[in-house]
Copies of this chain bind each other. A is one copy, B any other.
Amino acid sequence: MKRWIAGVLCAAGMMVTGMADAQDLMVEKKVFDLPSFTTQSGRTLKNVKVGWESYGTLNADKSNAVLICHFFSGNSHAAGKYEAADAAPGYWDAIIGPGKAIDTNKYFVLASDTLVNLNTGDPKTTTTGPASIDPDTGKPYALDFPVVTVGDFVNVQKALVESLGIRKLALVAGPSMGALQTYEWAASHPEMVAKAMPVIGAAEADAQLIAWLDVWAAPILVDQNWNKGDYYGRTPPNAGLAKALAVVTLQANHAEWANATFGRRPAKPDEAPAKALGNRFQIQSILDNAGEARAKVSDANHFLYLIKANQLYAAGGTSLADAATKIKAPVLLITQPKDLVFTADMIEHTADTLRKGGVNVTQAFIQGTRGHLDGVISMKQAEGAIRAFLEK
């Protein structure tokens, strides 16, 4: 994801933030194996694997662990670099590291790849999903993979956390789908979560979000190469997946950025958009190119399973109102009012409902021209709020 954002940003003549630290945190990607995992739908999967990484040192009584949960198209790489030459550090490097808001001199920060992670073609991502080999058949699961939920993502993380001897997390946090996992942790495992910091995310998918997620999925479902999910060893539905990823990029940004960056400039000065149906404006080619590049290292079925998990989502597995009675941790909710994915109305509905249920909710807001994406790339703005929340 980092490379993807970097790609779109560099194309737009901008730089990724958070690259100024003289001493980068160096990180190693690891793999967590679960010999057996039973999904909330009741299917038992063998040999479940997810990638993970950590920053800082777990203390003797294992009380300083912080879990970071990733967004829809992300992976565990929340901070630091794998190699000094990496173009950019992890996505929340601005707030995770030595002396930073989530201080790795104090906290042991860990993050894992989810089930059905999108980035199947990225050597630094390890996941289990439709593209994985089913040990029982020796072939990819494809659509025989069970529907999985955000609750399943969290239960895999819980097994990882427990394997390290950690019984309570000082903080669970994450942006977007990471926020969904954060609420889920706090509602389903309240005894294990001291504090929760959901960022740019609501605690339940409403009808509007469910429908928009269908818009993201539509180009894949229409692509005949999708073939009802049976495309492994054949031509994958990358035309559909590329368009799907272009939609995600657009909705994760905001008009202020699009208009200021691209305006009505043509993609190519000598190919005026009015001259031919296929001649494009710059914003069209930028989004298409980013989608096509990303599709090459992503899996269409994983995309659809992620969509499904997000559509099914209600914190705690039942409803937002129910979750509000289960969550015990104080919540720092950080959002961007211009967010086009989790709109201000959705966020206020979550905050109000949690408060009515007795949850201690503090809100902080990020500004910027990127909308949803500001919750990933502009998090340095929130460092004061995060420090205050952790010190409380």
Contacts and interface: CB of A to CB of B under 8 A. Distances in A.
Interface in A300-358: 304-305, 308, 311-312, 314, 319, 343, 345-346
Nearest to A261: B207
Which among A261, A275, A288, A311 has the highest number of chain B CB atoms within 10 Å? Answer: A311
Contacts of A281: 207, 210, 311
Given A218-B247, A240-B222, A258-B211, A277 B147 contact: yes
A221 B287 CA distance: 15
Interface string A2-39: 00000000000000000000000000000000000000
Contact of A246 (B143, B214, B250, B254): B214
Nearest to A205: B264
Contacts of A276: 147
Contacts of A250: 211-212, 215
Interface in A233-272: 239-240, 243, 246-247, 250, 254-255, 258-259, 261-264
Contacts of A275: 41, 147
A276 B207 CA distance: 18
A311 B206 CA distance: 30
B218 A345 contact: no
Interface of A is mostly: helix
A215 B214 CA distance: 12
Contacts of A319: 264
Interface string A279-292: 00111100110000
Interface residues of A, number: 57
Contacts of A47: none
B207 A308 contact: no
Contacts of A53: none
Interface string A202-229: 0011111011101100110111110000
Contacts of A181: none
B143 A214 contact: no
A284 B211 contact: yes
Contact of A277 (B254, B282, B305): B305
A190 interface: no
Contacts of A311: 273, 281
A-B CB proximity, top 10 nearest? A208-B255, A218-B243, A207-B258, A207-B262, A207-B283, A208-B258, A224-B224, A219-B222, A222-B240, A218-B219
